[in-house]
Amino acid sequence: MEAQDAFMIVPQPFQYQGSKRALAPMILRFLPAKFQRLVEPFAGSAAMTIACAGRGRASRFWVNDLNKPLAELLNLIVNRPEELADEYAKLWKGEAAEAIEQFYTVRETFNRTQDPKLFLYLLARCIKGAVRYNADGLFNQSPDKRRLGTRPDTMRQSIIAASMLLRGKTIATSHDFRDVLAAVEKNDVVYMDPPYQGTSGDRDSRYLAGLSFDDFVTALDGLNSRGLRYAISYDGRTGEKRYGEPLPAYLNLSHLELEAGRSTQATLLGRDDQTIESLYLSPALASDIGVLPKVTRHHAGQAILV
């Protein structure tokens, strides 16, 4: 079952830097086989929610992101897929020079209007799906000149497929993560993939707002006191380079290291540096699935009993 699960294809309408789409099958091994609702306070592309829905693991979903156009885009994917696909088809251009000019026009309009339909086009066309913002909070990433972005027919199929998985059982919001965690219920499972602490200081151009390490730890301590189940992707390393400060021992989290394969940069440089991503499980979740509170390493082909 686990081997087959790892190769299931689930729709992903847009790429997003840091998305856990590739790791989702491995992360899902450490969530309960069946549960009531998955909550993502830092949803991004909602890769975990889509993967979870595709495998029938939860019956309801709450996706949240402080980036309001992103949260609104997720809502459109779920509830107004045809309208979103139609607008994307109108914006998409099939000639390279015309597409580049179109990108800058759409980017300028998006920065004025914050229209989530325009945001989808920018995500599909920008370099590596890597969102960048300037100091004024304006989207300032450049277009990828080597490709035209997802073709409209392929985009439509992905949007509709994601909507079919999530419609009628998903809410999308744009709140501070602490407000979301305050509303989490006993039967929920929370998956968090916040900005990695330490990647570029308090101000990271990939995010509209930074995340205070101390505030995050305080919030996790509060979840523990309520006996709630949660998992966090928070730090990692590539070769000898580490990203982020490990979460404190007093939280009593189970620390799992997931092998994510060779990084893109290592591949380009001909190196064999493996990317290792940390996954932390709360005491309540670890107890639920039978994981001991110690550091363990897992890779994509390794069977995990849950």
Summarize pLDDT for 283-300 with one digit per residue, the tens: 999 999 987 655 454 444
Q: Do the domains 2-61+176-298 and 76-158 sit in the same CATH topology, yes or no?
A: no
Q: What is the CATH number of domain 2-61+176-298?
A: 3.40.50.150
Q: How far apart are CA 36 and CA 24, in angstroms?
A: 18
* Pairwise CA distance, residues 244 & 194, whole Å: 11
pLDDT, residue 206, reads: 46
pLDDT of residue 156: 97
On average, the pLDDT of the chain sits at 85
At 299 the pLDDT is 45
AA letter at 120 = L
Question: Of 116-120, 183-187, 238-242, 277-281, which range is least confident?
Answer: 238-242
pLDDT of residue 279: 93
Distance CA 181, CA 39 (A): 9
CATH code, 76-158: 1.10.1020.10
Distances (CA, A) of 234 to 35, 117, 162: 23, 30, 26
What pLDDT shows up at residue 219?
97
**Euclidean distance between CA atoms 106 and 126, whole angstroms:** 12
Higher confidence at residue 220 or residue 93?
220
CA distances from 207 to 110, 128, 136, 215, 249 (A): 16, 15, 12, 17, 27
* Residue ranges covered by each domain of the chain: 2-61+176-298, 76-158
Listed residue (92, 43, 15, 97) closest to 84, CA to CA: 92
Q: How far apart are CA 81 and CA 75, in angstroms?
A: 9
Chain centroid, CA 99 distance in Å: 27
Cβ–Cβ contacts within 10 Å for residue 186, how many? 10
More confident residue, 271 or 88: 88
**pLDDT tens digit string along 25-36?**
999 999 999 999
Q: For strand 188-192 and strand 241-243, is the pairing parallel, antiparallel, or unpaired? A: unpaired
Q: How confident is residue 302, by pLDDT bands cut at 50, 70 and 90? A: very low
Distance CA 258, CA 277 (A): 5
